[in-house]
Amino acid sequence: MQLTVLLLWSNFVHRQRDFSSLERYFTALRRKHYGRETAEGYTVHVLAPHVVDGKQMGPYHHYCKVLAPDPVIQCLIYESTEPNARLSQVEFIVAKELTRNQVSLKDWNKSWHDHTIEIASGRVQVLDLPPDKAKEVSDLVSTTDGLIVHFYYDSQLPNGRTSVAQAVGHKPMKEAAFKNYAAK
């Protein structure tokens, strides 16, 4: 397999600079060996602003997929819908039943946010779905908390720095509200 990749790369460099052929090759290779793409299934498209370094930014395009029925959802987040848009953030969306029992209130207030509050603000839009399906997505996500990791770039290159971004309107919770998640 390594020889095949090397020969393909050699042909690619000398004949043409068409990245699409290399991308098609690696996609076919991964499917052959693993059955499907890891990136498949990021099909739920959500638009929402975030707070990064104390400033409201976005709105950001979230492409999400369900990883577990609890629910546990993961979103790849971009600043635009352009085909070559770079990854800006990743959001981990986890059932309150899990986060509120495994994350301390101090850590939750620092890094997590409540999707019930964020969705109720009207700032979140579920795109590309009929209204009834978009409401189902919103209702499901309302049962979760989110943690957003923001990536920093120097010009076009990632520099290795990250921070935790926040939902617009996030407010730290008191102990009673934190533990009473089931009532929301």
Q: HEC states along 122-151?
A: CCCEEECCCHHHHHHHHHHHCCEEEEEEEE
Domain extent, residue 136, equals 44-183
In the prediction, which pLDDT does 8 show?
Answer: 38
Q: Which two tokens stand for residue 12?
A: 């690619």
Q: Are residues 25 and 104 both part of a single domain? A: no
In the prediction, which pLDDT does 40 show?
Answer: 81
* Structural domains of the chain, count: 2
Residues 6+ positions from 129 with CB-CB distance below 8 Å: 44, 45, 137
Q: How far apart are CA 180 and CA 62, in angstroms?
A: 28
Q: Which residues of the chain have pLDDT under 70?
A: 1-37, 182-184
Query: For residue 39, is it within any domain?
Result: no
pTM above 0.85, yes or no: no
Q: How far apart are CA 36 and CA 2, in angstroms?
A: 21
